[in-house]
Protein backbone atom coordinates (compact mmCIF):
# COMPACT_ATOMS: atom_id res chain seq x y z
CA UNK A 1 0.00 0.00 0.00
CA UNK A 2 1.47 3.31 -1.07
CA UNK A 3 0.80 6.56 0.66
CA UNK A 4 1.38 10.11 -0.42
CA UNK A 5 4.91 11.33 0.09
CA UNK A 6 6.78 8.05 -0.29
CA UNK A 7 7.77 7.93 3.38
CA UNK A 8 10.21 10.81 3.24
CA UNK A 9 8.22 13.26 5.35
CA UNK A 10 8.49 16.87 4.26
CA UNK A 11 10.68 15.98 1.28
CA UNK A 12 7.98 13.88 -0.37
CA UNK A 13 7.70 12.86 -3.98
CA UNK A 14 6.43 15.28 -6.58
CA UNK A 15 7.48 18.49 -4.86
CA UNK A 16 10.20 20.88 -5.86
CA UNK A 17 12.15 20.38 -2.63
CA UNK A 18 15.66 18.98 -2.64
CA UNK A 19 16.18 15.29 -2.00
CA UNK A 20 18.98 13.88 0.12
CA UNK A 21 22.33 15.10 -1.04
CA UNK A 22 20.80 17.54 -3.53
CA UNK A 23 20.60 21.27 -3.58
CA UNK A 24 17.71 23.61 -4.19
CA UNK A 25 17.19 24.53 -7.84
CA UNK A 26 18.09 28.07 -8.84
CA UNK A 27 14.74 29.43 -9.97
CA UNK A 28 15.71 33.07 -10.38
CA UNK A 29 18.88 32.59 -12.33
CA UNK A 30 20.53 35.58 -10.66
CA UNK A 31 21.02 34.39 -7.10
CA UNK A 32 24.13 36.50 -6.49
CA UNK A 33 22.43 39.82 -7.15
CA UNK A 34 20.66 41.71 -4.44
CA UNK A 35 18.52 44.76 -4.93
CA UNK A 36 15.12 46.17 -4.21
CA UNK A 37 12.34 43.65 -4.57
CA UNK A 38 9.51 45.05 -6.66
CA UNK A 39 6.15 43.59 -5.73
CA UNK A 40 3.55 43.61 -8.50
CA UNK A 41 -0.15 42.90 -8.26
CA UNK A 42 -1.89 40.52 -10.65
CA UNK A 43 -4.51 43.21 -11.12
CA UNK A 44 -3.13 46.73 -11.73
CA UNK A 45 -5.97 48.28 -9.70
CA UNK A 46 -4.61 46.53 -6.58
CA UNK A 47 -1.12 48.03 -6.96
CA UNK A 48 -2.14 50.97 -4.75
CA UNK A 49 -2.77 48.59 -1.84
CA UNK A 50 0.46 46.68 -2.52
CA UNK A 51 2.43 49.93 -2.28
CA UNK A 52 0.72 50.98 0.96
CA UNK A 53 1.25 47.59 2.66
CA UNK A 54 4.85 47.50 1.44
CA UNK A 55 5.46 50.85 3.15
CA UNK A 56 3.79 49.58 6.33
CA UNK A 57 5.97 46.46 6.25
CA UNK A 58 9.16 48.49 5.82
CA UNK A 59 8.15 50.74 8.73
CA UNK A 60 7.46 47.71 10.93
CA UNK A 61 10.82 46.18 9.94
CA UNK A 62 12.69 49.36 10.80
CA UNK A 63 10.96 49.60 14.21
CA UNK A 64 11.73 45.97 15.04
CA UNK A 65 8.10 44.81 15.09
CA UNK A 66 8.73 41.36 13.62
CA UNK A 67 5.24 39.92 14.12
CA UNK A 68 3.54 42.87 12.46
CA UNK A 69 6.04 42.81 9.59
CA UNK A 70 5.31 39.10 9.10
CA UNK A 71 1.57 39.82 8.95
CA UNK A 72 2.14 42.52 6.33
CA UNK A 73 4.28 40.07 4.36
CA UNK A 74 1.40 37.59 4.30
CA UNK A 75 -1.02 40.32 3.21
CA UNK A 76 1.35 41.31 0.40
CA UNK A 77 1.63 37.71 -0.77
CA UNK A 78 -2.15 37.31 -0.83
CA UNK A 79 -2.71 40.62 -2.62
CA UNK A 80 -0.08 39.77 -5.19
CA UNK A 81 -1.94 36.59 -6.11
CA UNK A 82 -5.49 38.00 -6.04
CA UNK A 83 -6.69 38.29 -9.68
CA UNK A 84 -9.76 40.50 -9.13
CA UNK A 85 -9.73 44.23 -8.31
CA UNK A 86 -10.46 45.14 -4.71
CA UNK A 87 -13.17 47.76 -4.91
CA UNK A 88 -14.57 47.93 -1.37
CA UNK A 89 -13.84 46.92 2.23
CA UNK A 90 -16.23 43.96 2.01
CA UNK A 91 -13.93 42.24 -0.49
CA UNK A 92 -10.89 42.40 1.79
Say what the pTM is. Answer: 0.57
For the chain, 92 residues long, give each residue's pLDDT as a single digit of tens: 555 555 555 555 555 555 555 455 555 555 544 445 567 888 888 899 999 999 999 999 999 999 999 999 999 999 888 888 988 888 76
User: In terms of Cα–Cα distance, which of 40, 53, 51 is closest to 83?
Assistant: 40
The neighbour count for residue 53, using CB atoms within 10 Å, is 20
Dihedral (Cα; 62, 66, 68, 71), 10-degree rounding: 120
Half-sphere exposure of 41 (CA within 13 A, CB side): 20
Question: What is the structure's pLDDT at 12?
Answer: 53
Amino acid sequence: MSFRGGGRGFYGRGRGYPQRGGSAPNKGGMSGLSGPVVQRAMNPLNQYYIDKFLKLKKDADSKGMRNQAFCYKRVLAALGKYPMPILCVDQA
